[in-house]
Structures are given as structure tokens and as C-alpha cells.
Amino acid sequence: MENQPPDKSRLADKKQVRLSKVVIRMSKEYKKVENIRDIKIAYYITVPNKDNEALIELIRNNLNFELHIVDDILESKMSHDIQAVDIFFIDHKINKNSDAGRHFCNYLRKNGYKGMIILCTRASVNEVSSYLVTTIGFDNFLPLNSNLSTLFNQIHWGILNRRRKNKSILQYDNNPEALYTIAKDGTIYDINDTALNGSRLTPKEVVNNKKKIWDIATLPTFDEHIQPLITANNTGMIFEHSSSEGDQIYQVKVNIANLPIIGLVATIFKTDISHVMFSRTMDILTNSIELLSHRDNYTAGHSSRVFHYCVRIAEKMGLSLDKNFTKGLYCAALLHDIGKIGVKDKILLKPGRLSSEEYKELFSHPTKGCNMLRRYKLFEDSIYFIKSHHERPDGKGYPDKLHGKDIPVGALIISVADSFDAMTSNRPYRKSLNFKKAVKEVKNNFGKQFDIEVASAFLSIISPNMLSNIKIASHKTLEKITREILDLLKGIK
């Protein structure tokens, strides 16, 4: 075996080129080649001649591995187990046989060789079809007139192509320079600097630590919704699904392509549709409130006024900078009575006092509203505010008779706003209280019906002028109020 490159002069004389003896054996497990430095043993299948002597010399002088030259793999016998060979270079034409290179490549692959095979050809880089080269089993090609740069580039791409076998490439439409090579379980095998997505890890650390695609690319639904789509049968197809990440909702489109050298590529179009989904869902629900107002003229305007009161109370209490809380509060304020859709007209519109059974049904509306909205992930921060907005600190509220700190703050805020608006609005069974009497009623129920901190914050800002302005604002459509909620949320980071 040659451990040192021979003198360059030996290349000129074919008779002085050593032919290594080999036998085809498959006993050893293939050693992965991750980069050019991992290549230790190479074979060049050729008959040295004036066309390839420059390439042989280039390889010997610039790559730090053993290079063995044989002229016919089917007749010669190699001194290494075939799986111990890291890379084969094969001339496209051997002993005047123009198909020898292809046949030899097929022979190696059929016998289980998993390493790299590079086709050496007289054609230039621009003249060779990568598609044809890779489809017959080669990992890349190398022009016989290659310079040092071309040599390294073509071997490097051959390594990448070999590593990508039975894997797939991901890229994002909003960052097309970011590329990920992943296995079927989501493990990242290749990643470039652009794809790190703010991670403090280097590409090498990502690969060595066997990070998953969702660790780097914020794609938690990969294994469920994307990985099963990356198959050759889906080439040319586009699939869509929605994905939730924290409080954001994304529309995810997956376009599957099968590229000649690279293989399967999944291009992921990921669009934030949180505001669109929120807006459309709110439109549907506020339309329900509007329909409810045709049964009960009080409901739509009341929901609007409660929303405006809650916005001001949250600002006074310093809670308006918490986006999740405010989104939950604002939506709950607008939708807190949506459960009344499930209450019969004869109870909802009854001008006189309700019976105990009728009160029981009316008191079910917070639970009904909570159950209606539970299916919407958008309202996961709202549903318990809605369910508990008739609870009282003294434990005499409904539906669960919660006490004090067991009641969510958002529900306590809605409770004050809801009750104050009810007191200052005409109802079928009574006339409204004037401003002073309503304020006094709130004060008289500190710690009983109303949380002291919340009620105090409310009383510190409420005024006849605010009451008048909010009543005027309540004439806006609920659709416009929904847009106000969106605008308020956009201002909170």
C-alpha cells in the first residue's frame, strides 16, 4: 500500500503506476464522511493517460489521503474492504469502454457501497448534466481539467449530496438563504449560518448536538403536519395547515419538490395570520352579539360600554402593557354576555321579577359563554374571565361561588364595569340610577360584590363626563370596536 505520494514523474509512464490488488468484501460498516478531512482512503478507477494525469497529480498533491489506482474493478482485486474506501473516482471511459464508468458505479451500488462515487469526465462543469450524473448513482462529477478550486468544490458538493440521501431539505420563503438538511425524525444533519435563526449555537454544534428542526426553526408541528408530506409521491404538490406558536397563529404552506442533485426539498411558506384569524373570529362572534341585541336591545350597547370601562380600569391599574392579559380582558369584556344566546326569550326579556328556576337559567349564561368559546384557542385567556364575571369576593356570586383571590383579576374588572353600566342603564324591570347613586352603590359593596382594589381604581377615574362619552362611544358597531381591540393590541409589544 502506498502511504506517500509517488514522484510526479511516475505519472507520465503508465507501466510505473501501481495497480492495487483487491477483493470485493462488504463485512465492515461504512464510515460516514462529513467533510473532506474525513477522507482517508481513495481509489481512482482508470488507466492513467495524458488526459487524466494532471487530475491525478492534482489529487495526490493537494488532498491528504491515500490514493490507489486500479484499472478494472471487476478483474482486479483491491487491498481494502470496499466499505473502508471513503471515495471512488471513476473515469467515464476505461480501456475504450465508454460505459465502463457507469457500469462500475452500478456494480458498487448493487453491492451495497454507501460511500462517495465521483465521475471523472472530459466535459466541463457547464457541459455536464447533474441530473444524469446523480440519477445513475454518482454523487457528483469532476472535470479532468479541474483546477484546485473546482476539485474542492465538486468533492464538497459530492459529500453534501451523499449526506442528503434519504433526507430532505427545508427552506422558508421569508428566508430563502436559510437551508436545513433533516432526517425523517426532524434531526438536523446540515444547517448554514443563515438558518441559525438567532440561535447561539454554531452550525457544527447544532449538528453534533442532534438538534431537531423545531429547536431552531420554530416549527413545532413538523413531525405531525410536515414530515409525512415529504415523499417523492407528493412532488409538485402544495399542502396547507395552520399552526399555533405561543399566542401567534400561522398559515403554513408546504411545497414539495424533487431536485436532481439535492433530492426532496420542502419549501415552507409560513405566514402570521393571527390578526386575520382574530378579526374573522371576532366578526363571527360580535355578529352573534348583534343578533342577540335584536332580542334584547340592551346587550350590544352594554357590551360596548363594558369594554370601554375595562380598558380604562386596566390602564389605571397598570395592567394594559401585558398583551396576553389585555387581549383576554378586552375580548371577554366584549363577549361576556354571549352565553345569553342560550337563555330563553321569556326569561331574558321578562319585565318582572324572575322565579328561582328562571334565575337558575339566567345564571347559567357565564358557563354557557365559557363553553361556547372554549373551542377557540384565540380566547384561551378570555374564557375564565367570562365564566367568573359574576363571582363576588364574599363568595355569594355564581356559578362557582368563588372567594377573593380565587377570582381572576380580569373577571373582577368586568364585574365592576358590568354592574356599573347595568346600574346606569334603563332595564325592562327598572329605570337607571343617576351617577351619584351608582357611585355610592359601588362604594357600599367594597369587599362584598366588588374587589376593593379594582373598585377603587374605577372610582378614581369615573366621572359624569366619562360616563357620557362612553355612552356615545357605545353607538359604534361592534365590528368597529373589534378593530379598536386590534389596534390596541398592535400597540402592545
What average pLDDT does range 128-150 have in this prediction?
82
> Is the omega angle on the peptide bond into residue 399 within 30 degrees of 0, that is, cis?
yes
- % of residues, the chain, pLDDT over 90: 31
Better-predicted residue by pLDDT, 352 or 75: 352
pLDDT of 393: 97
Better-predicted residue by pLDDT, 225 or 108: 108
Per the structure block, which three cell numbers stand in for 40?
A: 482517508
Q: What is d(CA 454, CA 395) in angstroms, rounded to the nearest whole number?
A: 17
Per the structure block, which three cell numbers stand in for 26?
A: 462488504
Verify that 267 and 316 share a domain, yes or no.
no
Better-predicted residue by pLDDT, 288 or 25: 288
In a domain, 250, yes or no: yes
> Please, which pLDDT band fits residue 299 given cuts at 50, 70 and 90?
low
Q: What are phi and psi for residue 263, nearest 5 degrees?
A: 100, -145
In a domain, 126, yes or no: yes
pLDDT, tens digit, 9 for 90 and up, residues 244-279:
776 677 788 888 877 654 567 777 777 777 777 777
Better-predicted residue by pLDDT, 4 or 433: 433
pLDDT of 408: 97
pLDDT of 407: 97
Q: What is d(CA 269, CA 248) in angstroms, rounded to the nearest whole number?
A: 15
Which CATH number fits the domain that encloses residue 60? 3.40.50.2300
pLDDT, tens digit, 9 for 90 and up, residues 434-452:
999 999 999 999 999 999 9
Confidence check: pLDDT of 4 > 60: no
Question: Is 313 within 8 Å of 462 (Cβ atoms)?
Answer: no
134-143's contacts with Cβ under 8 Å and 24+ in sequence apart are 134/161, 134/260, 134/261, 135/260, 136/102, 136/105, 136/106, 137/105, 137/106, 137/108, 137/109, 138/90, 138/105, 140/261, 142/55, 142/89, 142/118
- Cα angle vertex 18, ends 12, 19, to 5°? 125
Q: Where are the alpha helices (DSSP H) in 317-430?
A: 323-335, 345-348, 356-362, 365-373, 383-387, 409-423
Side chain identity at 405, as an amino acid letter? K
Q: What is d(CA 341, CA 418) in angstroms, rounded to the nearest whole number?
A: 18
Question: Is 116 within 8 Å of 162 (Cβ atoms)?
Answer: yes
Residues 418, 422, 423, 424, CA torsion sign: positive
Length of the chain: 493
Last residue of a domain, one of 232, 257, 272: 272
Which CATH number fits the domain that encloses residue 296? 1.10.3210.10
> Please, which pLDDT band fits residue 303 given cuts at 50, 70 and 90?
confident
Verify that 85 and 232 share a domain, yes or no.
no
pLDDT of 341: 85
What average pLDDT does range 122-143 have in this prediction?
78
pLDDT, tens digit, 9 for 90 and up, residues 473-483:
888 776 777 77
Q: What are phi and psi for residue 31, nearest 5 degrees?
A: -95, 125
247-282 b/e (C-beta count within 10 Å ≥ 16 → b) = bebbebebbbebeebbbbbbbbebeebbeebbbebb
Verify that 141 and 215 share a domain, yes or no.
no
pLDDT, tens digit, 9 for 90 and up, residues 458-470:
999 999 999 999 9
Better-predicted residue by pLDDT, 206 or 270: 206
pLDDT, tens digit, 9 for 90 and up, residues 67-102:
998 876 654 556 677 888 899 999 887 666 667 788
Instruction: Say how many C-beta atoms besides its own lie within 10 A of residue 219's C-beta.
Output: 23
Domain interval for residue 319: 276-490
Verify that 404 and 257 share a domain, yes or no.
no
Verify that 282 and 268 share a domain, yes or no.
no
Verify that 247 and 106 share a domain, yes or no.
no
- Cα angle vertex 335, ends 329, 336, to 5°? 75
The total domain count for the chain is 3
Per DSSP bridges, beta strands 140-143 and 66-70 are unpaired
Residues 204, 205, 207, 211, CA torsion sign: negative
In a domain, 2, yes or no: no
Per the structure block, which three cell numbers stand in for 71?
A: 484499472
Greatest mean pLDDT range, 9-13, 57-61, 112-116, 267-271: 57-61
Last residue of a domain, one of 272, 306, 324: 272
pLDDT, tens digit, 9 for 90 and up, residues 153-187:
899 888 877 766 666 667 665 566 777 777 777 88
Q: What is d(CA 406, CA 349) in angstroms, rounded to the nearest whole number?
A: 32
Helix (H, G, I), strand (E, B) or coil at 243: strand
Distances (CA, A) of 279 to 62, 286, 306, 483: 63, 10, 19, 8
Verify that 282 and 368 share a domain, yes or no.
yes
pLDDT of 14: 34
Last residue of a domain, one of 245, 272, 299: 272
| Cell 354571549 found at | 338
The least confident of 162-176, 296-310, 382-396 is: 162-176
Mean pLDDT, all residues of the chain = 80
In a domain, 3, yes or no: no
Verify that 282 and 201 share a domain, yes or no.
no
Question: Is 223 within 8 Å of 186 (Cβ atoms)?
Answer: yes
In a domain, 1, yes or no: no
* pTM higher than the cut 0.85: no
* DSSP-assigned letter for residue 278: H
* DSSP-assigned letter for residue 230: -
Confidence check: pLDDT of 22 > 50: no
Which CATH number fits the domain that encloses residue 174? 3.30.450
Q: What is d(CA 453, CA 447) in angstroms, rounded to the nearest whole number?
A: 9
* DSSP-assigned letter for residue 321: T
Verify that 397 and 367 share a domain, yes or no.
yes
> Please, which pLDDT band fits residue 8 given cuts at 50, 70 and 90?
very low
Verify that 327 and 473 share a domain, yes or no.
yes
DSSP letters of 95-109?
Answer: TTBTTHHHHHHHHHH
Per DSSP bridges, beta strands 87-91 and 41-45 are parallel
Per DSSP bridges, beta strands 87-91 and 116-121 are parallel
Verify that 154 and 186 share a domain, yes or no.
no
Confidence check: pLDDT of 402 > 60: yes
467-476's contacts with Cβ under 8 Å and 24+ in sequence apart are 467/424, 467/435, 470/305, 470/308, 470/309, 471/305, 473/304, 473/305, 473/308, 474/301, 474/302, 474/304, 474/305, 474/308, 475/301, 476/304
Verify that 180 and 264 share a domain, yes or no.
yes
